[in-house]
Structure 1
Amino acid sequence: MKRLWVVSLLIFFLVANHVVVFGQQQATTISAFQNRVFKGEKYNPLGSVKWVFKTKGKIFSSPIVYQGIVYIGSEDGFLYAIQEKMGKKLWKFQTGGAVHSSPTVYKNTVYFGSFDGYYYAVDSKKGSLKWKFKTGGEHWSGEVSFLGLKPYDRYMDDLWDFFLSSPVVNPDAKDPSVFFGSSDGNVYALNANTGKLKWKFAANGSIHCSPALYKKTLYVGSWDANLYAIDIKTGKQRWKFETGNKVGFKGIESSVAVANDMVYFGARDPFLFAVNAETGKLVWKYDAAYSWIISSPVVSNGVIYFGTSDTFWLVGIDAKTGKQLFVFQANGYVYSSPAIMGDTAYFGDFTGNFFAINTKSLGKEPSVFSTESRKKMAAEILKDNVLDFSYAGKGADLSFYETNQTVMNQFYKLGSIVSSPFIANNTVYFGSADGNCYAIKLKK
């Protein structure tokens, strides 16, 4: 795979736009995928490392910061609560499986899921269990002969299925609800205080993306390639939108962004879609050039930001028209969902690089942080500092599933970043496949 080495830059104006996210400081609920736009001005490049917190497993979970505490899950089976200022562990909560779900905090409770098949509600200060809810089971997506790989009669996990659904809370004072999807194909609505089931909605495929809540409707995609709009009170389908279902180009991992009565989301088919939130009718779609969109879009000031897989892009497109405004090329897959603060877009790539991009200068002078793992392993694993699947395969037959597994495990040695960043108190936080949660100061 060759890097295109082209940065397409078009001057554009940022038009004021109302986006449905909770305020960064005033929120009573903080969710990793509904809090992607942060208060700030101008361009804030990356500064020095504030601290690094080590876990014993790869981190695919995205951090959130609430009342001085950083919450993040790890593949080692724990949810961690880390002191925001010093990076010291306050507590950790053990589950029976990898924690690829990102946490959500509502009042004094943190919600998240685990591959052990449970979704948990844990006291945010003490780390003690409040309740847990058993789903029909959590697992990686997959199929027999995934992507046509050999041996043809073998069931294979999807090597690019990184996440479990992350909960979202409807903060109704009298009757709060928590919503999440599951590998069992259901969307669940529970009482946020007790964990009691209110309703469940059945899709035709696993649900690993996170729901988005907007005007009493829940929007969530599935591996069955459909986006569903569900009434939050009744659990009944309002509408569904079908994306492509060709072999290798089927499924929705991207979570939804909603702004000005429009729903934006990416798919593997590979398009980014703009759909009317009320009717489910297509308004426009953006062609990602045969590159999956796993990264969840963020809408800020009339521009949609998201990452792509094989083209290694961070893309900015006009929210009204779908017109491409700029492209910045990273060094590998961009599965991390960007965070936007002022004129800066923050995101990581699969080679262990983390970027701060000046959206005003359209990325001409990016600020870059590299994990220590990347610094040590880049010369061995990357080709000319860029991810190249064939090169990393070292001549092995890539038509076999096990060869692809080996290559992906090589890439993980770089400290791949699929965790999405969170910004608080002039610091950006994110996780890495090297098992670390990083806190990087920002320059003003």
Structure 2
Amino acid sequence: MRLWLLLLLLFACPAYASEPAVDTLPPELVRLRDEGRLTVRALWAWKLVPAATATAAMELRAMGLDLIGADRAQLAAWVREAEEGTAAFSPAQREVLSGLLAMMDSGDAAASADMLPADAPAAAALPVPGVVDAVPAAPDTVDTAPPAPDVADAAPPLPDVAEAAPSVPGAASGPAMYRCGAARTGVSDASGPAGPPVELWKLKVGDGPCTPPVVLDGLACFGSVDGHLYAVDVATGALKWKFFAEDWVDQPPAMAGGTVFFGNVVGDRSGDRHFFALDAATGSEKWRFKSLYYGVNSSPAMVDGAICFGAGKHVYSADPQTGDAKWSLETSDTVGTPAVSDGTAFFAHANRLTAVELGADAEKWTFRAGANITTCPAVSDGLVVFGSDDFNIHAVDVQTGVEKWKFGTGLIHHPAAVHDGVVYAVSADNLHALDAATGTEKWKVNMQRAGLKAPVIDGDALILAAGNFLVSLDRASGQERWRFEAGGEITSPALAGGVAYFWSEDGHLYAVR
């Protein structure tokens, strides 16, 4: 009788027969979660994050948000804001946020297998850290050299910094900066491919998303979330040297006077945050400037014998020879990439854009957008142009900060290019050409793909990244001239000597002519 009743209960009420839920997070992470100290950084160290987390973290950092340091409460708040439509997260960013939140809640690695990187071990197979309460060390790829180049790349083995033979001229011909100069207009002095491009070489380099490169004196330099700054010989496609900066390098460097300038930020590693100056020929360190808060969230500008950059809540002007700060100004929030024109720096911090004369004790003006400013400004013809999460391109007067016009475009996460009275801006899958004086649209091209990056102006052409493609368009009409397909989504290009250089998510730096 008792056996019959037991069987009846088992079949009629399956819940009684099921196993209790098992939390599949490693015990160390369960303890951190129970103590309210579990962050994305800890999940990353255990390789329990979506494959797109690094890309999303870089994009969110440009929006002033720290994904890697986020705990469950912060993730839940972002997911809720995304669902309510009060935060401008892209679909890919929402997917990453939801995946991270689900992993913290359930730790069900089997159910979330599609989130894991292809080479990540299962949670049960991960090594147990020596200290129970400590977050495990960063992934072991940090201190290893990048994979050897493909046979077709014909690049020699990677030398250590100390062994790198100086082959780059010590005296630079001129500064090279992100967005083609201190004013960030995107107007290139050097030329890119004129016709249908062909691949010159590609080099397997960088473990994780990399920044757009800058090119000067035969050297292409770029940073990576693997914590390195890389230098590649553009003539041969050989890796000259790499420098380990202890944490993420997620903003492009600047090059001038035989020196490479860049900073690092809080990422998935525990190193200190600094602004660095390296010898371009050898990769050896010249000096470092210690940064507080989240590190250097900006790409530097070289102007009038000084290097200008944002670090934490400060904007600095430093001596490029010694690293000594000449001037600084504290702001309300994390400072983004500055544009510098006629002795004035223009920079975003949260939803504010501020103008300040270098060396001054107070700002000239501050403009407030309706949401966080998501691009570095471009300064041209009396205007400062930038994008915001309020879904608008804004143009304000360079002297007063008074808004001249705004144009609604949707999500904008990449800077505009400005030249000859026209603003070229990307949003979602569209490229817009706007009259700089009025903000009216001259033409629009639907590129029919995600992953549009900031365009570069090359004479009468626009060259831009569109997903896996490098595309050239006629600047006057938007008519496509040519395209080149890489093996993965690509960064904005740097142009030099008729060649375009860019990094792709297939793990290669490309040179195409």
Question: 1:275: which partner in 2?
Answer: 396
Give the counterpart letter for 1:371 in structure 2: A
Alignment CA distance shift 1:344-1:104 (3 Å): same
Distance 1:335 1:187 in 2: 29
Contact 1:307 1:335 in 2 (8 A): yes
Instruction: Between 72-81 and 102-111, report the one with greater CA deviation.
Output: 72-81
Please list every run of 5 or more consecutive structure 1 residues that lacks an aligned counterpart in the other structure: 3-25, 140-162, 245-249, 373-414
1:123 partnered with 2:279 = yes
Give the counterpart letter for 2:282 in structure 1: K
Specify the SS of the correspondent of 2:198: strand
1:353 partnered with 2:479 = no
Specify the SS of the correspondent of 2:176: strand
Distance 2:436 2:449 in 1: 25
Alignment CA distance shift 1:366-1:138 (3 Å): farther
Higher relative strand content: 1
Instruction: Please state how far the C-alpha of 1:320 moved relative to its aligned partner.
Output: 1.2
Specify the SS of the correspondent of 2:179: coil
Specify the SS of the correspondent of 1:136: coil
Specify the SS of the correspondent of 1:33: helix
Q: Give deviations 1:12-39, integer Å, cap 9, x for gaps.
A: xxxxxxxxxxxxxx96221112432135
Give the counterpart letter for 1:433 in structure 2: E
Question: 2:216: which partner in 1?
Answer: 66
Residue 437 (structure 2) aligned to one of 293, 296, 320? 320
1:239 partnered with 2:372 = no
Alignment CA distance shift 1:334-1:236 (3 Å): farther
Instruction: Please state how far the C-alpha of 1:43 moved relative to its aligned partner.
Output: 9.0
Alignment CA distance shift 1:40-1:53 (3 Å): closer
Rg larger for: 2
Specify the SS of the correspondent of 2:495: strand
Contact 1:44 1:344 in 2 (8 A): no
Query: Does 1 or 2 have the higher relative contact order (CA < 8 Å, sep 6+)?
Result: 1
1:203 partnered with 2:349 = no
Instruction: Please state how far the C-alpha of 1:254 moved relative to its aligned partner.
Output: 0.8
Distance 2:198 2:343 in 1: 42
Give the counterpart letter for 1:166 in structure 2: S
| Map 1:186-265 → 2, pairs under 5 A | 186-207=314-335, 209-222=336-349, 224-244=350-370, 250-265=371-386
TM-score by length of 2: 0.61
| Map 1:112-191 → 2, pairs under 5 A | 112-115=262-265, 116=271, 117-138=273-294, 164-171=297-304, 176-182=305-311, 184-191=312-319
Question: 1:412: which partner in 2?
Answer: none
Contact 1:45 1:357 in 2 (8 A): no
Q: Give deviations 1:165-213, integer Å, cap 9, x for gaps.
A: 1001123xxxx2211113x222222222111123322222222x31111
What's the % identity of the aligned pairs? Answer: 28
1:29 partnered with 2:175 = yes
Give the counterpart letter for 1:31 in structure 2: M
Specify the SS of the correspondent of 1:38: coil
Distance 1:335 1:251 in 2: 20
1:48 partnered with 2:198 = yes
Please list every run of 5 or more consecutive structure 2 residues that lacks an aligned counterpart in the other structure: 1-89, 92-171, 266-270
Residue 426 (structure 1) aligned to one of 498, 502, 513? 498
Alignment CA distance shift 1:122-1:426 (3 Å): same
Give the counterpart letter for 1:436 in structure 2: H
Residue 420 (structure 2) aligned to one of 285, 298, 301? 301
Contact 2:193 2:500 in 1 (8 A): no
Give the counterpart letter for 1:180 in structure 2: F
Alignment CA distance shift 1:137-1:41 (3 Å): closer
Contact 2:192 2:495 in 1 (8 A): no
1:369 partnered with 2:484 = yes
Alignment CA distance shift 1:276-1:326 (3 Å): same
Alignment CA distance shift 1:214-1:257 (3 Å): same
**Structure 1 vs Structure 2 CA RMSD:** 2.4
Instruction: Please state how far the C-alpha of 1:164 moved relative to its aligned partner.
Output: 3.4
Contact 2:173 2:257 in 1 (8 A): no
Give the counterpart letter for 1:242 in structure 2: R
Q: Give deviations 1:72-121, integer Å, cap 9, x for gaps.
A: 11222211111111211111111111211101012111101112511111
Question: 2:253: which partner in 1?
Answer: 103
Alignment CA distance shift 1:119-1:265 (3 Å): same
Instruction: Please state how far the C-alpha of 1:228 moved relative to its aligned partner.
Output: 0.6
TM-score by length of 1: 0.70
Contact 1:180 1:189 in 2 (8 A): yes
Specify the SS of the correspondent of 1:179: strand
Instruction: Please state how far the C-alpha of 1:334 moved relative to its aligned partner.
Output: 4.3
Give the counterpart letter for 1:324 in structure 2: E
Distance 1:274 1:438 in 2: 34
Instruction: Please state how far the C-alpha of 1:326 moved relative to its aligned partner.
Output: 1.4
Distance 1:343 1:41 in 2: 11
Contact 1:59 1:433 in 2 (8 A): yes
1:90 partnered with 2:240 = yes
Contact 2:355 2:366 in 1 (8 A): yes
Distance 2:280 2:193 in 1: 33
Contact 2:228 2:244 in 1 (8 A): yes
Specify the SS of the correspondent of 1:429: strand
Specify the SS of the correspondent of 2:442: strand
Contact 1:266 1:293 in 2 (8 A): yes
Distance 2:191 2:259 in 1: 31
Question: 2:68: which partner in 1?
Answer: none
Distance 2:231 2:187 in 1: 23
| Map 1:390-401 → 2, pairs under 5 A | none
Give the counterpart letter for 1:29 in structure 2: P
Instruction: Please state how far the C-alpha of 1:40 moved relative to its aligned partner.
Output: 7.5
Question: 2:87: which partner in 1?
Answer: none
Question: 1:22: which partner in 2?
Answer: none
